[in-house]
Amino acid sequence: MFWLARAWPSGQFDRPDRSAKAFPVGYRIQMNQIIMKKLLTTLAIVGMALSVQAQVSLADKIAEAETGWLIGTWTAEMDSYTLTLTYKWALKDRVISSHLKTGDSESFGLIGVNPDSGEIEQISYDSKGRKSEGTWGPKGDMPMLKTESKSDSGESRRMAVAFRKIDENNIEAQIFEVDAAGAVGDFSSFSFEMKRKKEKKE
């Protein structure tokens, strides 16, 4: 490319000086401004992408599945005790706490969205030393928790519970068996109805 070279008195050709001194100050400032604008635009696009991902909250998933009716306190009269189950927000839009109380046992858990998998997960501990881990998903048109619990002696137990909405104040809990491969049975092994407990007015 002849025009990119210049002739010196000796007759030899050399490339043009491309050092910073070869460009006017105003030109260098203009180029720096263009580079900064491109960098800021790139950062803004990345920030918007991260913001969209961050918006997928537990509240969003509940709204999409239309299962917000499950939040509250529910009771069921069993043979020798009253079962009480409560779901309430622990951190706005992000974390729900669960509290299950039966005749001789009590457990507390937290429910949230795993940022890596996008699954709704629950982890609980009970008064008998058991730890339970599970995931929430659909069972037909019912929200269902599939869980595995382990005792301090290493004993493992799997089960799933799905909730069917009867009306605003009544639901049915359906218990399903879960095999070693994690497959949930097609039909519930037993079920019982629960009533919404009215909140006390402060």
pLDDT at 158 over 90: yes
| DSSP string covering 96-159 | EEEEEE-SS-EEEEEEEE-TTT--EEEEEEETTS-EEEEEEEEETTEEEEEEEEE-TT--EEEE
Whether pTM > 0.95 for this model: the answer is no
195, 78 contact by CB (below 8 A): no
CA 22 from chain centre, in angstroms, equals: 55
Going from N- to C-terminal start, the domains of the chain cover 2-54, 58-196
The mean of the pLDDT values for the chain is: 86
Confidence class for position 40, pLDDT limits 50, 70, 90: confident
pLDDT at 53 over 70: no
Of the ranges 2-16, 119-133, 172-186, which one carries the lowest mean pLDDT score?
Answer: 2-16
Q: What is the share, in percent, of the chain residues with pLDDT greater than 70?
A: 80
CATH number, span 58-196: 2.40.128.20
pLDDT at 19 over 60: no
37 or 92, greater pLDDT: 92
